[in-house]
Amino acid sequence: MTKSDIVEMLSKNSSIPKKQAEMIVNTVFASITEALEENEKVEIRGFGTFKVKQRKPHNARNPKTGDKVFVEEKKIPYFKPGKELKEFINNI
C-alpha cells in the first residue's frame, strides 16, 4: 500500500475531496516526523509505537570486499507494533 492508496481510501470512506484527504495524510506523517526529529516517542494505541533508537559506533565488514570498516554512531527510526496489530496479523 502506498501513500496515494491511503489518500484514496480516506477520500472514499469519509466522502471528503481527494485534496483534503491528501492534506490530512501529509499532516499526520509530518507530525510523526517532527516528533521523531525532536526525539519524542509517537504512540498510536492499537497500532504501534514509533521512536528513534541510537546505534553505537562499531566495526563492520564490507560484504563486497571483505575489508573492515568503522561505522559511526547514528540514529535510526524504529517501529514496534502494538498488541492488537500483532494479534490481528497472527489471526489472518
Q: Count up the domains in the chain and report the number.
A: 2
Place of cell 484527504: 21
Does residue 29 sit in the same domain as residue 48? no
Same domain, 33 and 53: no
Report the predicted TM-score, pTM, of the whole model to 2 decimal places: 0.79
Segments forming the whole domain that contains residue 66: 41-92
C-alpha cell at 6: 491511503
46 backbone φψ class: left, alpha, beta (φ>0; ψ -120 to 50):
left
- pLDDT tier at 67, thresholds 50, 70, 90: very high
Under 8 Å between Cβ of 59 and 68:
yes
Q: Mean per-residue pLDDT for 5-13?
A: 95
59 shares a domain with 31: no
